[in-house]
Amino acid sequence: MLINILSHQKNSGKTTLALNIATKLSAEGYQVLLVTDNNNTNLMNWLDKLSQQASSLTVKTSPLDSLANHNDDYDFVLLDTNTDMQLSSDKTINLICLDFTHLDTDYISTMDYLLTNSYIVPCKVPFNEGKTLKLLDQLVSYAGIEQVLDGIPKCERIHDLPLIGKTIWELDNKPLQAAFTSIANSLITYLQS
């Protein structure tokens, strides 16, 4: 299954989502390929410091056209590239990261780019319940409850993970781990259906 992780916002948490979902799927025993751009220095530095947690996780900095050679070797192929192109096929899921710290209701109303196999991942969801609930309500009204996955709570410690070479699975933060686990489980369910 091909998972295309994209965002129309800079610093939305796309790479954090990609690596932590990849390590979770790998820890569950799935063969995972994470494809990134050569210029994704944040991810490459993070991987250099990361202890080898998942033997079934492979990272490549290869062009998208080489995926055809690898797609059958892996249960999951995650794309963390600088393209915002949504892909459409039966075995493709588009995960759209939305940074809730810089999101407003006007932006949600302009979201006209959802494909059938596209799901929204609210990232950096603040604890400001009033504004957060209003944005989530508008997002669900626009996209439908089936298209909105569990949100990733805002956590300042997550920004340090690339610097120290750790994933969220090494933090003592059960709500954060539960959010990533829920997204990974949604992908596993989709693979098995």
The secondary structure of 50-73 as a DSSP string is S----TTEEEE---GGGGGGTGGG
- 3-state helix vs strand vs coil in the chain, percent to 5: 45, 20, 35
pLDDT at 144: 81
Look up the pTM and report it.
0.82
Tell me the helices (H) and strands (E) count for the chain, helix number first: 6, 6
Q: How confident is the model at residue 54 (pLDDT cuts 50, 70, 90)?
A: low
Q: Is residue 87 a contact partner of residue 2, using CB atoms and an 8 Å limit? A: yes
Cross-strand partners of 32? 57, 76
Mean pLDDT of 55-71: 64
Torsion of CA 106, 11, 33, 172, to 10 degrees: -100
Is it the case that residue 152 has pLDDT exceeding 90? no
Q: What element of type H or E holds 78?
A: strand 76-80
Each domain of the chain, given as residue ranges in start order, spans 2-183
Q: For residue 184, what are its two tokens?
A: 């990974």
Cross-strand partners of 98? 122
CATH 3.40.309.10 is right for the domain spanning 2-183:
no
Mean residue pLDDT across the chain: 79
